[in-house]
């Protein structure tokens, strides 16, 4: 329904803002506040419920749906979010702060790799494009001009290549004449 999509869209936007705040805190502070763990857990559970509702609604028709790729992306995001929460809980206790110096380096590396998957959640905001008509029109215009851009870049590359070969040949000829 429209209301469900609007609520989920609002949650995606607030989650994106939260991820930005979380990254900023990680850059500024050595440890992130324990409340971030619980907020992240809230978003993960909320998006899991949303995914379950979408899967139940799709039923056996899932492979035939036009939004199957969005659902698969959501599944990947939810699984990576749960992986991050489990890894954070296992390696750093329930507070979710993983900056303790007593952890082995490999554990911190694993946590960092898992946290990189958090950035994938920002991709969910792309789904909001379908709700804003002007933005959808602009995205369609950009996508349709990409073909022309590729051909223009290929032409530019060929021109640069021809001139570079020409200038290199002239430079080599000039150096040979000098000797």
Q: Which of 89, 108, 90 is nearest to 38 (CA)?
A: 89
Q: Which of 12, 34, 37 is nearest to 122 (CA)?
A: 12
Higher pLDDT, 104 or 15: 15
Instruction: Give pLDDT, residue 46.
Output: 92
Instruction: Give pLDDT, residue 82.
Output: 83
Mean pLDDT, rounded, for 49-62: 86
Residue with tokens 């609604």: 57
Q: Please report which confidence band the pLDDT of residue 112 belongs to, taking 50, 70 and 90 as the band edges.
A: low
Q: Please report which confidence band the pLDDT of residue 153 belongs to, taking 50, 70 and 90 as the band edges.
A: very high
First to last CA, the chain: 80
pLDDT tens for 74-103 read: 888 888 888 878 877 776 654 444 444 445
Q: Tell me the average pLDDT of the chain.
A: 78
Q: Please report which confidence band the pLDDT of residue 127 belongs to, taking 50, 70 and 90 as the band edges.
A: low
Instruction: Give pLDDT, residue 104.
Output: 54
Distance (Å, whole) CA 129 – CA 75: 20
Residue 66 pLDDT greater than 60, yes or no: yes
Instruction: Give pLDDT, residue 42.
Output: 93
| Least confident window among 98-102, 142-146, 161-165 | 98-102
30 CB-near residues (< 8 Å, 6+ apart) = 99
Tokens of 64: 């035939």
Instruction: Give pLDDT, residue 29.
Output: 77
Q: State the DSSP code for 100.
A: -
């Amino acid at each position: 329904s429209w209301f469900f999509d609007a609520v989920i869209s609002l949650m995606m936007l607030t989650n994106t803002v939260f991820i930005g705040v979380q990254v900023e805190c990680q850059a500024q502070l050595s440890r992130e506040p324990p409340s971030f763990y619980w907020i992240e857990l809230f978003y993960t559970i909320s998006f899991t419920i949303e995914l379950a509702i979408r899967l139940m609604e799709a039923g056996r028709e899932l492979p035939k749906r036009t939004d199957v790729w969005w659902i698969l992306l959501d599944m990947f995001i939810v699984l990576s979010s749960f992986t991050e929460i489990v890894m954070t809980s296992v390696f750093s206790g329930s507070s979710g702060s993983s900056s303790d110096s007593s952890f082995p380096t490999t554990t911190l590396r694993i946590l960092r790799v898992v946290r990189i998957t958090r950035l994938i959640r920002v991709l969910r905001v792309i789904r909001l494009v379908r709700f804003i008509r002007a933005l959808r029109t602009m995205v369609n215009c950009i996508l349709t001009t990409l073909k022309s851009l590729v051909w223009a870049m290929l032409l530019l590359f060929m021109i640069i290549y021809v001139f570079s070969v020409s200038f290199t040949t002239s430079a080599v000829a000039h150096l040979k004449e000098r000797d």
